[in-house]
Structure 1
Amino acid sequence: MHLKTPNIDPEKINALRGHMIAGGLILILTLLRIFVRFKTASPNPVTTSNAFLDKVAALVHLLLNLLVLVMAGSGIALALGAELPDIVFGGSGQPLPMNFQDFPARAVHGIVSKLLIALILLHIAGAIYHQVILKDKLMKRMWFGKR
């Protein structure tokens, strides 16, 4: 999410607050998902009968989790470096930095966001491929209850 509101606009703090809360929630849910994934039995991996696609699928799943963690880490690093917790949540009254681009973590945050978008699109394409082309009922397998 690229916030286009200038840092001098008073609404920027509200936008950052929402962005930081959403990012924190995504981090918590991702950590919970990873924990549950390691603590519960997993079904056998789905195969496409194509070794390359099967390897791509495994890599995409790993990278999705890893990049979400890197995204959150870079966001936390940026927030701490720019003293955002005090400004956004603590009401310190300090102005926001003139430009977040001055912080190295911002570059990482921006690059990882683009990589995550690409991986999410690839993941969606894979799900559609399974559902429409292979018709292997993968979506049903991922749902709750009897599979």
Structure 2
Amino acid sequence: MSNSAQGYGKVAIVLHWLIAVVMIGMICLGLYINKNEAYHLMSTHKSVGILIFVFVVWRLLLRLLKGFLPALGSTSTFQQILSRLVHWILLLGTVLFPLSGMVMSAMGGRGLQVFGTEIFPMNMLNGRPAAINEDVSEMAANIHELLVPIMIAAIALHILGVIYHQFIVKDNTLSRMLGCTKCHK
């Protein structure tokens, strides 16, 4: 089933919810790691980030190839602009979050591993990780950190928009993203 004006296809729905749940979980895990200095969880954070990046790229390619259906319907121009802006922030954020994390780790000399499987080796100097490009690693770290409040705000606006459309406008926005085009009619 592919996207149509009535709803999204099964692949789009699964990718949406998988990425949404994992990204929210990763933001929470990252905040937890930083607040509690729980650095023993960092390898899990990095591994999940690398894996979700594959699904993010897949979703982005589908969105670019198949478009951004279904249409926004009869909403005001302001709501349409805000909706498009929030969706683009979420799409870009889901790409930039894992990408900046991977660049930060790799250029910081810490390499890239997915649950112990090496993808990009550590850069070792005198038995310690040594930055490959500290400036690039720092820039990626700054992007990664800057994305946290931006993505939290965009996710909150997205959820509020869904609630508004589902229960006030009653255009079945949530129902369509749950794959239920006949719900609540």
Given the two structures, how large is their TM-score scaled by the length of structure 2?
0.62
Give the aligned partner of residue 137 of structure 1.
172
Superposition map of 1:1-147 within 5 A: 1-2=30-31, 3-4=33-34, 6=37, 12=39, 14-40=40-66, 43-85=69-111, 89=116, 103-144=138-179
| Gap change, CA 1:84 and 1:119, over 3 Å in 2 | same
Question: In 2, Cα distance between the equivalents of 1:96 and 1:44?
Answer: 48
Partner Cα distance (2:113, 2:64) in 1: 37
Aligned length: 139
Larger RCO: 1 or 2 (CA < 8 Å, sep 6+): 1
Deviation at 1:106, TM superposition (A): 1.4
Question: Which sections of structure 2, spanning at least 5 residues, go unmatched?
Answer: 1-29, 131-136
8 A contact 1:48–1:54 mirrored in 2? no
Structure 1 residue runs of 5 or longer lacking an equivalent are none
CA RMSD between the two structures = 3.1
Q: Which has the higher strand share?
A: 2
- Compute the displacement of 1:120 (Å): 0.6
Aligned partners of 1:139 and 1:87: how far apart in 2? Answer: 36
**CA 1:17/1:118 → structure 2, altered by over 3 Å: closer, same or farther?**
same
Pick which of 117-126 and 43-52 moved more: 43-52
Task: Using the aligned pairs only, state the percent identity.
Answer: 24
Q: Distance in 1 between matches of 2:78 and 2:98?
A: 30
Deviation at 1:110? 0.4
The 1-side partners of 2:80 and 2:113 are apart by 46
